[in-house]
Each structure stands twice: as C-alpha cells, then as structure tokens.
Amino acid sequence: MPRPLFLIGFMACGKSTLLRALAERVPGRRYVDLDHEIERTAGKSIPTIFAEDGEEAFRRLESDVLGALCHSDAIVACGGGTPCRPGAMEAMLAAGTVVWLKADIGITVSRLRLAPGQRPVIDALLDSPDALRDRVESLMAEREPFYSRATAVFDSSRLDNEAEIEESARKFIDTYL
C-alpha cells in the first residue's frame, strides 16, 4: 500500500487546487482535504465547531483525523496551520511524504484578494494591500520553521489557469507519485 502524502503550505498556496488536479489524473488513491474531513467527521462546519465547541475541541478533532489519515494511502491537503500543531509534523513525517507547496508571496497575496469571505483573519486586510502583504509575511515567517521540515518543496506559483494546473500537476506526479 502506498504511504500517505501530505500537502502543506500557507493559505492560498494551491493545496486544494493541486489536490483536485491530482484526483482527476491519478486514480486509485484517496484524496482528502483535511478541513472537509474534519467537517464530515464532526457533522458540522469548522466555524460552527469553533462557535459551539471552542478551538481546543477543533484542535483535538484535527489531531484525531490527521492521525487516522497517517494510517492510510491518502493524499491529504492540510490546513495552513496544521503542521504547526504539536506533534503534527512529526506524525506526518513518520507516516509518509510531506510536500511544502510554496508560492511566491506576490502570487499568494493576489490569490487571497480574489477570495474574500473565506479567511476571517485576512478578510479585514483585503482593501489594504500593504497591510495584507505585511500580515502574510509575518504569518509565513511564523510558520516557516514548521514547513521547512517537509520532505520536499514544490513551487506552487503556477496554478492560476488550466494550462498552469496541467503543467504543475504533471510535474508533481512525475516527481512524487
């Protein structure tokens, strides 16, 4: 059985886009968006989990779901903060391959601005490009020590149209699958 493969990276780096592209091109694997799996397991949305049960309950559920996926052959798109949780990166590295999807900061900021209403931490800054870029740089700096422990780094800057997605998916498949 193939070992799991975990896609990690900052928000808007292309984890979900690449996961969908891989699912269309490589049959026979399970493809899991960790946040969607948490919602499915809980029977409610992540904002509802936070509101009704609190962040600690969400983190326990995230850890449990991630732990189960470590014993699968799934290709998993993790939340941006998942590798930063105590024990998470260690569990992913012990179970399989961890690939850090890393996009250029300018591209990341542009992608974030195209998706209002999806990231409450960032939404208030969407109308202020300088403040948004500063916040993104700050969060990236906080997370880099965790992300840098990944097995490999993949440039995910080219996922913004069908041709780029095709090229990137092919390159990813050739390299990791």
Residue ranges of domains in the chain: 5-172
Percent of the chain's residues with pLDDT above 70:
99
Q: Which residues contact 132 (CB under 8 A, 6 or more apart)?
A: 109, 112, 113, 122, 125, 126
pLDDT of residue 46: 86
Q: Which of 145, 138, 8 is nearest to 125 (CA)?
A: 138
Ranking 70-79, 88-97, 124-133, 150-159 by mean pLDDT, the lowest is: 124-133
pLDDT for 157 equals 97
Per-residue tokens: 32: 């899991």
Q: Is the pLDDT of residue 31 over 90?
A: yes
**Could you tell me the two tokens for 109?**
């900021």
Looking at residue 118, its pLDDT comes to 75
Dihedral angle of Cα 47, 104, 88, 122, to the nearest 10 degrees: -20
* Distance (Å, whole) CA 19 – CA 64: 21
Q: What is 5-172's CATH topology? A: Rossmann fold (3.40.50)
Mention every residue, 6+ apart, whose C-beta is less than 8 A from residue 55.
none
pLDDT of residue 83: 97
**Run of H or E including 5:** strand 5-8
Are 59 and 15 within 8 A, CB to CB? Answer: no
| Continuous segment of H or E residues that includes residue 30 | none
* pLDDT band at residue 115 under the 50/70/90 scheme: confident
Q: Check if the beta carbon of residue 11 is closer than 8 Å to that of residue 113.
A: no
At 160, list the tokens.
């913004």
Secondary structure of residue 136 in the 3-state scheme: helix
What integer pLDDT is reported at residue 120 of this predicted model? 67
The pLDDT tens digits of the residues spanning 33-68 come to 999 999 999 999 888 898 899 888 998 999 999 999
The phi and psi torsions of 148 (rounded to 5 degrees) equal -65, -10
pLDDT tops 90 at residue 32: yes
Q: Which amino acid is at 115?
A: A
Strand order of the sheet with strand 31-33? 31-33, 75-77, 5-8, 97-102, 152-155
